[in-house]
Structure 1
């Protein structure tokens, strides 16, 4: 493809072609009818568009007749020359790209809450019968793109006012939003379609549209990704079109991209919602220097992919094609420095040439599925020195089909396979198929070690689906980087105990070219028996300590609670010595700093002072593992927002959950924008544990949530919370109640620790005892007493 196609791959209507070369519209129509080689149009609904670079190439061979030339146009001027001049005059460049506004400040928790709130708003304010299931999402997708890439348009939308009966104005505004996004899509060479979707929306009240626009002011890249997941659910996309899990694409991109590797072209032959290419781009310091290529079989998700990449200012060339990329010999071969893809699993939608007529680089394909076609296409698309990551079902690593085994053999022997990563189960929504990632490289015919990483036990389950946490990703990337460093320095890699093994090609050959990490798990460095013994003894000792601590906590809770269990007869709503007091008389209620004073980019794991966010509030306490930290200097500038022991934090907006108590550990930390801080005015008037317990009651939480229910995005103000009445007993009784609640919390924590210690001990012992690494000695207590013996030295 010519270099001009990189900058002029936009879609334009016939009328715009006429304006570019200063002719009448019938002239363009006449060219199309008279010349068979005139580019074919692209249809979108009832409209027709032409790819500008294709028409420019045709115009290069069409000289402007002398009678039609302008005074400043010499003989031999072509229509392409005139078009280039007019393009430069109109846009100031031939790029036609997007202009990014200031990036919205966002994080995972706030974006998740924002998306949930917006989806609820749309559901409540739009006539469902008049729309398809995804039209509301199309509005949110469009607003995200305009918010990020078109600051002037976005500012105009924010200032729009619609009267109560302004249905016509609302329809006009929806058309404006759709047209604005469609123009961007066409300028990027993609088929438009957002106007058609948005004009189907009907709001109950026209002014509800303005409310949605105003509430969308913090939509950004993270929110767009969350909306992609929601789109996959509502559109009931098949597994081959649903977005790849976020943790997985970040992991793949983190392994592929390295600072020393120059990248100019990236490619995904099954682009889905653009999440894989977006993850790559997020690792590049200057995305504008990278060109992304992609292909997809689904027009709607391909359009969303284009929008996803537009948010990053990336030049993208995405093509719609229902057939796999290797089935059209007339299509130009795409080559790239990095290839990343999650193709359809175990599917054979092969059309066109017969399989055996294609010259495959590593051998002919088996019948029935295209798994090994995707692998070979990925390697064939690499530039010299390039890398690829391909997600495939785990069966591709171990299948006994002769052709598949032969392809694995050829790829290993020619040095195309660098690393095989097996993934944990439940990672992909809607399918139980176990998967793996093949990390490939441009074939060098070298026979280096192949790294096998077994991540089958990593990840955590949330809402029935397993996710790879940031810690999991870091563990896997560290194992890969260590392997890469040893290989580049010519050293033999020993692997990472319990996670990875680096295996020579001759060993893989002996295993029949199986690429299943489980077949090589015993080949990594083994731990010394003395270390295994120490770990097993320590696990059992920790279990004994946790058991003793849980017993002590139970005894203390019983001691403090029993005296309180007496009837307290009274005639009124409260006992005679109790009273209701507004919260503001007991505590100073302060909201967190604004987003502009504490933006996302100021926070990182390398900072000195932790920042508490809503995600850090768990079980009435503040999670002490926050990686959101700021510099000491910024913390000093925000001194009014620092915490001291005894403060109570409440979630300010979104999903309002139970409050949390600040302890000595968090003294000096900052609290974030989406939190409210309660600080007691006098420590002898209200007990902190009593207040925490009072505000944590389910019925009280429901009443507090009611204070925030009238806002567009539910939000709790300092004034409304400050007026909330607190039932207050005498201080001495508060202390007794608070101490009892504190003892119960301690008991709950102790029993959680006991369960964790027992789980760890069992996991440790099962692995070492059943594997023969440790042998239990005779325990005289077992036959006499069935109670477990938590002594030391139980292993021989």
Structure 2
């Protein structure tokens, strides 16, 4: 099946799930709805993955040539009750699932159980568990909460992550039951896409829809996939420590995993570190990682990156982030003498250079970082920002600046750029195996403002070809192969040239204007022709103005 058909399948799936769920839960606002839907999607995915492993395991246990084979003759034959019980018991051995990195799902959290019981508890009650774990369930919300609680108990890494508040929702329990049935009917299987890819795509789509519904400021909750992909493609985080100090829902980590798998790398050679202050978003990020089977360290709790750093000793090989643009009053509880402010104390009224220096502080000696910031960061000279930028340039930390087109972000028109910094521009091998040339004393400027397309009336996006154009330009420059300056698009500038421009980093200042096509008409002749046309248009305009005044005078109006 080709990619067009795959994309159509995913588009149809998105539409079905979003539209149907909206009809079922019209009384919830986006902040509640987000957790209701994503919590159930989480349960469905881990249950599906568990069931897939269960099918594989059943095949192994019943295959005489397999090491796991359970011989029926040892238990009274294939039809004996003892054999069926032994087989069922073996299928519940947790280690069989953990050895393939399959998430363990307790019986009361499995989708088949939820779907079979959700109608029952609407009209009555059921009992589950044994001994001290025995519980009476009287509502669909309680059924879901107990499922999430069971998962959290058996998977300590999720402690405090899952949103166990379905019992408290002020909605019709029958609607909640219908939502369970709806998610059960969505086809999370496909000829050429596995369930992980499908559900991961749905999860990402939902995060984008919630960003729109909640009216979040651009980049504060959801970063467009194409921008995340661009930064990941350019940095190539194949192995080492990857860190995002403003991780949101974990988009950079997801794209890093996708990139590694697409290039046949090994995901277990990457360690994931993140931090997020918003409790609900921190929860979503952890769920997003679990859905995809990515190991992670998001700190002990959601917390401010500035005054409660969860990874103080981390020095990461790749640091990527899209923090809130132009964040104010960020420095409560932060000292002016903080060791992170090596290149100058950031102003209270704007956190742009605080984010940048925090990330740089946590970058390893051979590490690199990619940071999305508002355009003002490239040229502002107020409140010490110009001095910090100059210090970064003079210390030869800036590697590449990319200017982005407008209208990329949900609900904000703030133009943005990407900063790429590195602590080592010397010739060396990259994590991806590229042989980098000595780039000391040089900065690459890329003006990508003319790339992309309008995906709808308000939002712009990049095609994969656009992403490859920018990425290839950067990598060719790094490796010294097939790179040439291109007027209007890219320029490799010496630090002395940056000094002449007062250390402003706006790419447009360096790349210049793209050359106009030569139409063969000599300049002098073209100027004479255009001047003549303009004169004629002025004369025509004057005559038209006289006629309008005459007509108005005839109607009794004075002009």
The normalised TM-score by structure 2 is 0.69
Distance of 2:47 and 2:15 partners within structure 1: 18
Distance of 1:449 and 1:296 partners within structure 2: 34
Residue 304 of structure 1 is matched in structure 2 by 284
Report the alpha carbon displacement of residue 301 of structure 1 after superposing the two structures with TM. Answer: 0.8
Superposed CA deviations along residues 245-285 of structure 1, whole A, max 9, x for unmatched, are 11100111011106xxx522100000101011211121122
Query: Residue 344 of structure 2 contacts residue 388 of structure 2 at CA under 8 Å; is this kept in 1?
Result: yes
Report the alpha carbon displacement of residue 429 of structure 1 after superposing the two structures with TM. Answer: 1.0
Query: Residue 452 of structure 1 contacts residue 517 of structure 1 at CA under 8 Å; is this kept in 2?
Result: yes
SS in 1 for 2:334: coil
Query: Residue 38 of structure 2 contacts residue 203 of structure 2 at CA under 8 Å; is this kept in 1?
Result: no
Q: Judging changes above 3 Å, is the alpha-carbon distance between structure 1 residues 156 and 325 closer, same or farther for their aligned structure 2 residues?
A: closer
Distance of 2:121 and 2:274 partners within structure 1: 42
Distance of 1:106 and 1:383 partners within structure 2: 43
Does 2:269 correspond to 1:289?
A: yes
Q: Judging changes above 3 Å, is the alpha-carbon distance between structure 1 residues 321 and 311 closer, same or farther for their aligned structure 2 residues?
A: closer
Superposed CA deviations along residues 61-120 of structure 1, whole A, max 9, x for unmatched, are xxxxxxxxxxxxxxxxxxxxxxxxxxxxxxxxxxxxxxxxxxxx9944432321221222
Report the alpha carbon displacement of residue 180 of structure 1 after superposing the two structures with TM. Answer: 5.1
Q: Judging changes above 3 Å, is the alpha-carbon distance between structure 1 residues 300 and 322 closer, same or farther for their aligned structure 2 residues?
A: closer
Report the alpha carbon displacement of residue 408 of structure 1 after superposing the two structures with TM. Answer: 1.5
- 1:211 aligned to which of 151, 173, 181: 181
Q: Judging changes above 3 Å, is the alpha-carbon distance between structure 1 residues 182 and 497 closer, same or farther for their aligned structure 2 residues?
A: farther
Q: Judging changes above 3 Å, is the alpha-carbon distance between structure 1 residues 498 and 374 closer, same or farther for their aligned structure 2 residues?
A: same
SS in 2 for 1:365: coil
Residue 161 of structure 1 is matched in structure 2 by 116
- 1:113 aligned to which of 12, 21, 24: 12
Larger Rg: 1
Q: Judging changes above 3 Å, is the alpha-carbon distance between structure 1 residues 236 and 319 closer, same or farther for their aligned structure 2 residues?
A: farther
Once the two structures are superposed, the pairs formed by residues 162-201 of structure 1 within 5 Å of their partners are 162=117, 166-167=121-122, 168=125, 170-171=140-141, 173-179=143-149, 181-183=151-153, 187-188=156-157, 190-197=159-166, 200=169
Report the alpha carbon displacement of residue 199 of structure 1 after superposing the two structures with TM. Answer: 6.2
Q: Judging changes above 3 Å, is the alpha-carbon distance between structure 1 residues 443 and 378 closer, same or farther for their aligned structure 2 residues?
A: farther
Distance of 1:337 and 1:106 partners within structure 2: 37
Residue 517 of structure 1 is matched in structure 2 by 507
Once the two structures are superposed, the pairs formed by residues 481-492 of structure 1 within 5 Å of their partners are 481-486=475-480
Distance of 2:43 and 2:179 partners within structure 1: 11
Query: Residue 164 of structure 1 contacts residue 206 of structure 1 at CA under 8 Å; is this kept in 2?
Result: no
Residue 194 of structure 2 is matched in structure 1 by none
Distance of 1:360 and 1:243 partners within structure 2: 28
Residue 229 of structure 2 is matched in structure 1 by 250
Distance of 1:203 and 1:520 partners within structure 2: 61
Does 2:108 correspond to 1:138?
A: no
SS in 1 for 2:347: coil
Report the alpha carbon displacement of residue 300 of structure 1 after superposing the two structures with TM. Answer: 0.7
Does 2:226 correspond to 1:226?
A: no
Considering Cα pairs closer than 8 Å and 6+ residues apart, tell me whether 1 or 2 has the greater RCO.
2
- 1:456 aligned to which of 442, 449, 455: 449
Report the alpha carbon displacement of residue 208 of structure 1 after superposing the two structures with TM. Answer: 2.2
SS in 2 for 1:420: strand
Distance of 2:5 and 2:204 partners within structure 1: 12
Q: Judging changes above 3 Å, is the alpha-carbon distance between structure 1 residues 196 and 414 closer, same or farther for their aligned structure 2 residues?
A: same
Query: Residue 414 of structure 1 contacts residue 447 of structure 1 at CA under 8 Å; is this kept in 2?
Result: no
Q: Judging changes above 3 Å, is the alpha-carbon distance between structure 1 residues 518 and 126 closer, same or farther for their aligned structure 2 residues?
A: closer
Query: Residue 42 of structure 2 contacts residue 291 of structure 2 at CA under 8 Å; is this kept in 1?
Result: no
Query: Residue 161 of structure 2 contacts residue 286 of structure 2 at CA under 8 Å; is this kept in 1?
Result: no
Distance of 2:266 and 2:33 partners within structure 1: 37
Distance of 2:418 and 2:184 partners within structure 1: 42
CA RMSD between the two structures = 3.7
SS in 2 for 1:507: helix
Q: Judging changes above 3 Å, is the alpha-carbon distance between structure 1 residues 781 and 342 closer, same or farther for their aligned structure 2 residues?
A: closer
Q: Judging changes above 3 Å, is the alpha-carbon distance between structure 1 residues 313 and 337 closer, same or farther for their aligned structure 2 residues?
A: same
Structure 1 window deviating more from structure 2 (505-514 vs 163-172): it is: 163-172
Query: Residue 138 of structure 1 contacts residue 198 of structure 1 at CA under 8 Å; is this kept in 2?
Result: no
SS in 1 for 2:384: helix
SS in 2 for 1:377: helix
Residue 313 of structure 1 is matched in structure 2 by 293
Once the two structures are superposed, the pairs formed by residues 494-573 of structure 1 within 5 Å of their partners are 494-522=484-512, 532-533=517-518, 536=519
Once the two structures are superposed, the pairs formed by residues 324-723 of structure 1 within 5 Å of their partners are 324-328=304-308, 332-347=312-327, 348-358=329-339, 360-401=341-382, 403-443=384-424, 447-463=440-456, 464-486=458-480, 494-522=484-512, 532-533=517-518, 536=519
Q: Judging changes above 3 Å, is the alpha-carbon distance between structure 1 residues 323 and 304 closer, same or farther for their aligned structure 2 residues?
A: closer
Query: Residue 250 of structure 2 contacts residue 285 of structure 2 at CA under 8 Å; is this kept in 1?
Result: yes
Distance of 1:235 and 1:386 partners within structure 2: 36
Residue 278 of structure 1 is matched in structure 2 by 254
Report the alpha carbon displacement of residue 127 of structure 1 after superposing the two structures with TM. Answer: 7.0
Distance of 2:305 and 2:389 partners within structure 1: 21
Once the two structures are superposed, the pairs formed by residues 14-29 of structure 1 within 5 Å of their partners are none
The normalised TM-score by structure 1 is 0.49
Distance of 2:10 and 2:178 partners within structure 1: 21
Residue 433 of structure 2 is matched in structure 1 by none
Distance of 2:307 and 2:17 partners within structure 1: 42
Report the alpha carbon displacement of residue 139 of structure 1 after superposing the two structures with TM. Answer: 3.7
Distance of 2:398 and 2:204 partners within structure 1: 31
Structure 1 window deviating more from structure 2 (434-443 vs 132-141): it is: 132-141
Distance of 2:307 and 2:530 partners within structure 1: 68
Report the alpha carbon displacement of residue 190 of structure 1 after superposing the two structures with TM. Answer: 4.7
Structure 1 window deviating more from structure 2 (346-355 vs 298-307): it is: 346-355
Distance of 2:298 and 2:524 partners within structure 1: 54
SS in 2 for 1:376: helix
Superposed CA deviations along residues 183-234 of structure 1, whole A, max 9, x for unmatched, are 57x5325523333246636443676245223223414111110111123234
Q: Judging changes above 3 Å, is the alpha-carbon distance between structure 1 residues 409 and 163 closer, same or farther for their aligned structure 2 residues?
A: closer
Report the alpha carbon displacement of residue 465 of structure 1 after superposing the two structures with TM. Answer: 0.9
Residue 88 of structure 2 is matched in structure 1 by none
Distance of 1:315 and 1:204 partners within structure 2: 36
Structure 1: gaps (5+ residues): 1-104, 538-767, 787-796
Report the alpha carbon displacement of residue 403 of structure 1 after superposing the two structures with TM. Answer: 2.1
Q: Judging changes above 3 Å, is the alpha-carbon distance between structure 1 residues 233 and 294 closer, same or farther for their aligned structure 2 residues?
A: same
Q: Judging changes above 3 Å, is the alpha-carbon distance between structure 1 residues 382 and 116 closer, same or farther for their aligned structure 2 residues?
A: same
Distance of 1:780 and 1:353 partners within structure 2: 62
Distance of 1:106 and 1:311 partners within structure 2: 24
Report the alpha carbon displacement of residue 413 of structure 1 after superposing the two structures with TM. Answer: 2.0
Distance of 1:779 and 1:404 partners within structure 2: 45
Structure 2: gaps (5+ residues): 55-104, 127-139, 189-197, 427-438, 538-559
Q: Judging changes above 3 Å, is the alpha-carbon distance between structure 1 residues 342 and 161 closer, same or farther for their aligned structure 2 residues?
A: same
SS in 1 for 2:259: coil
